[in-house]
C-alpha cells in the first residue's frame, strides 16, 4: 500500500477494506450521512475524479473509465480516495470481509440504521441474495421475533432459514400477501420490510403487507423512472412508511451508526421518532 500526501489517518502497512466514495464536505457528508453525498453518483459512477481527471489512462493517452464505486477494485491495484478506505485490525481476513463494503453493509445497515428493527418485531425480507441475507442475519441480531424471507429460489430460502429466517415463502405464491399479513398478526401486517429485488410487483407486495405503523425500505434498484402504486388511504390511516435507502445509511468506518449515537432510544423497545 502507498498513500498520498493528504492522507494522514492511514499508515503504510495497515490492513484496509474498501467501500464507496464520498466528498466529505457537502451538507449530507458533514451531517454524517455520506451515503447521500451530493456528488455520490459522480464520485462512484462518473468514471473519473471529482476534478475531472482520470485515475487510469492507456499509453496512448486515452483516459479510461475508472473508480467504479470509487474503487474499480477488480484489479491487482486500486487507486482510491481516502474516503473509501476502512482500516481494520491486522488479524482481519481480508478475503472473507471484502464484500462488506457494499452489499453486506447495505442489507445489514438497512435493518440497523434505516428501519431500526426492534426486538420482538416482525421483519419481511423480499429477495434473498447477498444483500437480503445480510438483512436476515441483521434481523436475527436485532432479535426480531418473526423473520420472513421471500424469494423464487428454494435453495436460497433454505439458506435464509439457516441464517435466521423463521418463515419462508416463494415470491410467486399467489397468496403471498395473505400469508404475510396472517403471520404477522395483530398489527395487520409486517412491522418492518426490506425489498432487495427491485422488482415493481414485489415492492407493491411489500408496501401492501406493511402493518400499522409499519416501515419499509427499498434497497433493490429498479431502472430509473419506474413507479410503484401506493394505496394512499391505507398508507395514511395505518401510518405506514416507505423509505428509500442507499448503503443502509451506513458510515463504513463507524462501528455502527445506531450504537454510535450513545445507545440511543433506537435500541430499546420504543420506536425512535
Per-residue contact flags (x/-) with other proteins for residues 64 to 93, judged by CB under 8 A: ----------x-xx--------x-xx--x-
| Residue 55 contacts other proteins per CB under 8 A | no
Stretch binding other proteins (CB under 8 A), from 4-12, 46-54, 173-181, 253-261: 253-261
Paired with 193 in beta bridges are 124, 216
Q: Cα(137)–Cα(30) distance, rounded to whole angstroms? A: 30
Q: Where are the alpha helices (DSSP H) in the chain?
A: 27-30, 40-45, 94-97, 103-109, 130-141, 154-163, 176-184, 200-208, 232-237, 257-260
Q: Smaller CB distance to other proteins: residue 46 or 107? A: 107
Q: Cα(58)–Cα(39) distance, rounded to whole angstroms? A: 26
| Residue 26 contacts other proteins per CB under 8 A | no
| Residue 104 contacts other proteins per CB under 8 A | yes
Q: Cα(121)–Cα(193) distance, rounded to whole angstroms? A: 11
Min dist CB 231 to other proteins, Å, is: 33
Q: Which of 83, 121, 166, 250 binds other proteins (CB under 8 A)?
A: 250
Q: Which of 130, 199, 230, 261 binds other proteins (CB under 8 A)?
A: 130
For 218-241, letters b (16+ CB in 10 Å) and e give: bbbebeeeeebeeeeeebeebebe
Q: Where are the beta strands (DSSP E) in the chain?
A: 15-18, 85-88, 122-126, 146-151, 167-170, 190-195, 210-218, 241-244
Q: Which of 46, 101, 135, 220 binds other proteins (CB under 8 A)?
A: 101
Q: Cα(171)–Cα(214) distance, rounded to whole angstroms? A: 20
| Residue 99 contacts other proteins per CB under 8 A | yes
Q: How would you classify the pairing of strands 210-218 and 167-170?
A: unpaired
User: Angle, to 10 degrees, between the axis of helix 154-163 and the axis of helix 130-141?
Assistant: 30
Q: Which of 116, 240, 246, 257 binds other proteins (CB under 8 A)?
A: 257
Min dist CB 207 to other proteins, Å, is: 26
Q: Cα(127)–Cα(149) distance, rounded to whole angstroms? A: 7
Residues that bind other proteins (rule: CB under 8 A) add up to a total of: 47
Min dist CB 97 to other proteins, Å, is: 6
| Residue 220 contacts other proteins per CB under 8 A | no
| Total length of the chain | 273
| Residue 98 contacts other proteins per CB under 8 A | yes
Q: Which of 1, 64, 259, 265 binds other proteins (CB under 8 A)?
A: 259
Q: Smaller CB distance to other proteins: residue 7 or 98? A: 98
Min dist CB 99 to other proteins, Å, is: 5
Min dist CB 35 to other proteins, Å, is: 10
Contacting positions for other proteins (CB under 8 A): 17, 19, 74, 76-77, 86, 88-89, 92, 95-101, 103-105, 108-109, 112-113, 129-130, 133-134, 137-138, 140-141, 153, 155-156, 159, 162-163, 248, 250-257, 259
Amino acid at each position: 500500500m502507498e498513500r498520498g500526501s493528504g492522507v494522514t489517518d492511514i499508515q503504510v502497512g495497515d490492513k484496509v477494506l474498501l467501500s464507496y466514495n464520498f466528498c466529505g464536505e457537502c451538507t449530507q457528508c458533514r451531517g454524517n450521512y455520506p451515503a447521500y453525498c451530493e456528488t455520490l453518483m459522480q464520485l462512484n459512477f462518473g468514471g473519473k475524479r471529482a476534478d475531472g481527471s482520470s485515475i487510469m489512462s492507456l499509453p496512448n493517452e486515452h483516459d479510461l473509465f475508472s473508480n467504479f464505486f470509487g474503487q474499480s477494485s477488480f484489479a491487482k491495484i486500486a487507486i482510491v480516495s481516502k474516503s473509501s478506505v476502512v482500516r481494520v485490525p491486522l488479524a482481519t481476513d481480508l478475503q472473507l470481509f471484502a464484500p462488506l463494503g457494499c452489499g453486506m453493509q447495505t442489507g445489514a445497515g438497512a435493518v440497523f440504521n434505516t428501519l431500526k428493527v426492534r426486538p420482538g418485531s416482525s421483519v419481511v425480507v423480499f429477495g434473498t441474495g447477498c444483500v437480503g441475507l445480510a438483512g436476515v442475519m441483521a434481523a436475527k441480531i436485532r432479535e426480531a421475533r418473526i423473520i420472513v424471507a421471500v424469494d423464487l429460489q428454494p435453495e436460497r430460502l433454505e439458506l435464509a432459514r439457516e441464517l435466521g429466517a423463521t418463515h419462508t415463502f416463494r415470491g410467486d405464491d399467489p397468496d403471498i400477501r395473505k400469508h404475510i399479513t396472517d403471520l404477522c398478526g395483530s398489527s395487520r401486517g409486517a412491522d418492518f420490510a426490506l425489498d432487495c429485488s427491485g422488482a415493481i410487483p414485489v415492492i407493491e407486495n411489500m408496501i401492501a403487507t406493511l402493518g400499522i405503523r409499519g416501515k419499509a425500505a427499498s434497497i433493490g434498484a429498479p431502472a430509473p423512472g419506474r413507479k410503484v402504486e401506493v394505496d394512499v388511504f391505507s398508507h395514511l390511516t395505518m401510518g405506514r412508511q416507505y423509505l428509500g435507502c442507499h448503503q443502509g445509511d451506513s458510515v463504513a468506518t463507524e462501528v455502527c451508526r445506531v450504537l454510535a449515537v450513545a445507545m440511543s432510544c433506537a435500541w430499546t423497545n420504543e420506536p425512535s421518532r
